[in-house]
C-alpha cells in the first residue's frame, strides 16, 4: 500500500475513533459513578457492622460485669456480710476475673475462688461482717448442781366461780415461782 492510501485510511477511521472515544468516556463516567455508589454503600455497611460489633462488645462487657458482681455478692452473703452490695463494690476492683465458668482473684496457681477471697477479705474487715450469735451464760464450763432447786408444788386449778380460791391459787403460783428463782440464783452464786 502506498503512503497516500494509508493516510486516507487513517483520516477515514479518525471520526469513528472519535465516536468510540466519546462512548468510552461515557462508559468510564458511568463506571466511576457506580464505583462511588458501591463505595458509599460499603461505607454504610462497614458502619453498620462496626455498630453491631460495638453492641456485641457492650453486651459481653455487661455479661462479664453481672457475672462477676453476682458471684462476689453470693460469696459475701455466704460469708455473712452486713451489706453484700458494699462488699461487692469494695472487692470487685481487687482483680476479679472469669476463669472458665468460675470467678477468681489472682493469676495462675495463686488464683483464689471468689468465696475464699471474700471470706478472707471479711476476716480482715470484721466491721463488714454480721456479728456472731452470742451464747447465753457466763462462759464457764457447765457443772453439775450440788442440789437441785425444788420444784414448784403442783397446784390444782380452782373453780373459776370461787374468787377467793382463784386469788389463793395465783398467790401460791407466784410464791412458788419466786422461791424457785431465788433458789436458782443462790445455787449459781454458791458455785
Banded model confidence at residue 141, pLDDT cuts 50, 70, 90: low
- Report pLDDT digits (tens) over 170-187: 888 888 888 988 888 888
Q: In this predicted structure, what is the pLDDT of residue 14? A: 57
Residue 147's region, left for phi above 0, alpha for psi from -120 to 50, else beta, is beta
**Whether this model's pTM surpasses 0.75:** no
Dist. CA 168–CA 48, nearest whole Å: 93
Phi first, then psi, for residue 138 (nearest 5°) are: -85, -15
32: Cα separation from own chain's centroid: 55
Banded model confidence at residue 12, pLDDT cuts 50, 70, 90: low
Mean pLDDT is lowest, of 6-15, 30-39, 62-71, 77-86, for 6-15
Cβ contacts of residue 121 below 8 Å, gap of 6+?
87, 90, 91, 94
Gyration radius (Cα) of the chain, Å: 48
Sorted by where each begins, the domain ranges of the chain are: 13-128, 153-191
Q: In this predicted structure, what is the pLDDT of residue 57? A: 87
Strand intervals (E) in 31-171: 96-99, 102-105, 112-113
Amino acid at each position: 500500500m502506498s503512503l497516500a492510501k494509508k493516510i486516507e485510511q487513517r483520516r477515514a477511521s479518525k471520526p469513528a475513533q472519535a465516536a468510540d472515544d466519546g462512548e468510552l468516556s461515557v462508559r468510564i463516567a458511568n463506571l466511576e459513578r457506580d464505583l462511588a455508589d458501591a463505595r458509599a454503600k460499603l461505607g454504610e455497611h462497614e458502619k453498620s457492622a462496626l455498630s453491631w460489633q460495638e453492641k456485641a462488645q457492650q453486651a459481653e462487657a455487661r455479661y462479664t460485669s453481672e457475672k462477676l458482681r453476682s458471684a462476689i455478692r453470693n460469696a459475701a452473703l455466704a460469708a455473712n456480710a452486713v451489706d453484700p452490695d458494699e462488699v461487692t463494690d469494695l472487692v470487685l476492683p481487687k482483680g476479679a476475673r472469669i476463669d472458665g465458668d468460675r470467678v477468681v482473684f489472682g493469676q495462675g496457681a495463686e488464683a483464689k475462688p471468689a468465696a475464699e477471697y471474700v471470706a478472707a477479705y471479711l476476716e480482715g474487715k470484721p466491721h463488714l461482717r454480721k456479728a456472731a450469735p452470742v451464747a447465753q451464760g457466763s462462759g464457764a464450763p457447765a457443772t453439775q448442781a450440788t442440789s437441785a432447786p425444788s420444784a414448784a408444788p403442783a397446784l390444782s386449778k380452782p373453780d373459776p366461780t370461787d374468787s377467793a380460791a382463784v386469788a389463793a391459787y395465783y398467790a401460791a403460783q407466784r410464791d412458788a415461782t419466786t422461791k424457785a428463782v431465788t433458789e436458782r440464783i443462790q445455787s449459781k452464786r454458791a458455785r
